[in-house]
Amino acid sequence: MSMLNNALSGLNAANVALTVAGQNVANAAVEGYSRQSVQFKTTGVQLGGVEVSSVDRIVDAFLNDDIWRTNSDASYYKNKQTYLGFIEQVVGTDSLNLNASITTLSNALNAASTTPDSPAYRQQFLSAAEGLMQDFAQINGALEGQSKKLSSEMSNVSLEVTSLTQQIAQVNGSIGKAIANNQPSAELKDNRERLISQLSEHIGVSIVERDSGLLDISTLSGAPLVVGTKAASIKVNNTDVSSHFLGQEFKLDEHVGGHFGGLISAEKDIIKPTLASLNSLVKDLADDVNTALTAGFDLNNNAGIPLFEYDPLNPLGSISINPNMGKDELAFKNSSTTGPGDNSNIADILSAMTGKGERFTLLVGELAITSKQNKTSIATASSLNTNAIAARDSLSGVNLDEEAASLMHFQQMYGANARVISTADQMFNALLQMF
């Protein structure tokens, strides 16, 4: 009987191994599938045969962590570049070159200095100023549009992250039940890792595995996302992002990484500073030109009036030409007692504009340098992510050649045990014939 029992145990073990190898082959093309391996052990009874001790997923938590970390890094830089590249293109385009527009304004003043009482030259200056206003308005519109788009994108990402945390919490619960009931959990764990990979693209994650098999997930700053079967929700107010978990609120910044981190950084490190620089430029240009004009006198010997008007809280978005300003009101003279050919105040107006164009050129250069550095970071992070996936696949992925060899091996094991059973049957029949 021992011979027959041994063979039956070997036959059953080989059958399980063949089933697992077939499962691996069938799922070879399934993204995120972790190959499975059968572990054997003796029954613990002398000459009692063999049994399957477990069917294990071949995974390495450190390799998975590398994938999730590099996923987050690559997504951070890519999504930041979406806005950085657009703003660089808008601010740096030739048609919206403020340096050129300010130069045109200066050239109009230089032309007017030859015949300061000429209506044509005065109108040319006002037309150049109107052109500058149009450039300011277009740049402001583009930046406002990006801010609105970014806020909308953040809201969409928050819904996606909330959905993923809820799904992971549900799968956590299913895995806990399966392990407690000694049921298979490999497919559930594969599904959970796929969901975490998707989550890591949106936000950087830190993972802690419990002895029960459940995973707790938090942001890189420690804000909880999934704790056992409980999930956090993400909320966005304009461009302020926070995680809410069991009545607690955790504010998220660009250091959370991933899609969210890239968007937050784009708003904090690109859009806001660009707006601040342009607002400062507009304010200084308007104030300096207005000061120079109000210190002079117009064609009718009246005190000069400001050329520009703006809201101090939003210079770029509100600047306009003073509606009371006309050709005759341009204060090109610095005295009320001189004749119409006096151009003595034009030099002060030109001086007021000096350096403003260079400040814009410097801003364009800074954006270009930042964009180039960010593109380099994208390439580096993407390469590291590719390497991390390759390392994981070399361990956990299905190698069809290896599985073919395993199928042949376990088929031989199955056949050999079947032969032992046949031999035992023949021996038993021969023994019966002796009586």
Per-residue pLDDT of the chain (435 residues; tens, 9 = 90+): 577 778 888 888 888 889 888 888 988 888 888 898 888 888 877 777 888 888 888 889 999 999 999 999 999 999 999 999 999 988 888 777 888 899 999 999 999 999 999 999 999 999 999 999 999 999 999 999 999 999 999 999 999 999 999 999 999 999 999 988 888 888 999 999 999 999 999 999 999 988 888 999 999 989 999 999 999 999 998 888 899 999 999 999 889 999 999 999 999 999 999 999 999 999 999 999 999 999 999 999 999 999 999 999 999 999 999 999 999 999 999 987 887 788 999 999 999 999 988 999 999 999 999 999 999 999 999 999 999 999 998 888 888 988 899 889 989 988 888 888 877 767 767 767 776
Q: Same domain for 269 and 354?
A: yes
Assess whether 49 and 118 both reside in one domain. Answer: no
Q: Which residue, 334, 339, 336, 331, is CA-closest to 305?
A: 331
Q: Are residues 112 and 249 in the same domain?
A: yes
In degrees, rounded to 5, the angle at the alpha carbon of residue 329 between the alpha carbons of residues 326 and 334 is 150
Q: Are residues 10 and 115 in the same domain?
A: no
Contact 27, 355 (CB under 8 A): no
Handedness of CA 315, 321, 323, 329 (dihedral sign): positive
Residue 263 to residue 265: CA distance in whole angstroms: 5
- Domain span at residue 268 reads 65-148+243-385
Residue 10 sits in the same domain as residue 91: no
* 391 within domain boundaries: no
The answer to whether position 34 is within a domain reads yes
In a domain, 23, yes or no: yes
- Give Cα 434 to chain centroid, integer Å: 81
Q: 341 and 290 in one domain?
A: yes
Looking at the fold, whether 264 and 139 belong to one and the same domain comes out as yes
147: amino acid identity, one letter: S
Residue 223 resides in a domain: no
In a domain, 268, yes or no: yes
DSSP state of 297: B
Domain co-membership, 288 together with 418? no
Same-domain check for residues 285 and 426: no
Q: How many domains does the chain have?
A: 2
Q: Per the domain annotation, does 176 fall within a domain?
A: no
DSSP state of 79: H
Task: Establish if 214 belongs to a structural domain.
Answer: no
316 with 375, same domain: the answer is: yes
Q: Look at strands 50-57 and 205-209 and give their pairing.
A: unpaired
Tokens representing 375?
A: 């593109």
User: Is 207 contained in some domain?
Assistant: no
Same domain, 337 and 405: no
Give the sign of the dihedral formed by CA 251, CA 257, CA 259, CA 265: positive
Distance CA 220, CA 205 (A): 6
Considering the domain architecture, whether residues 293 and 410 belong to the same structural domain is answered as no
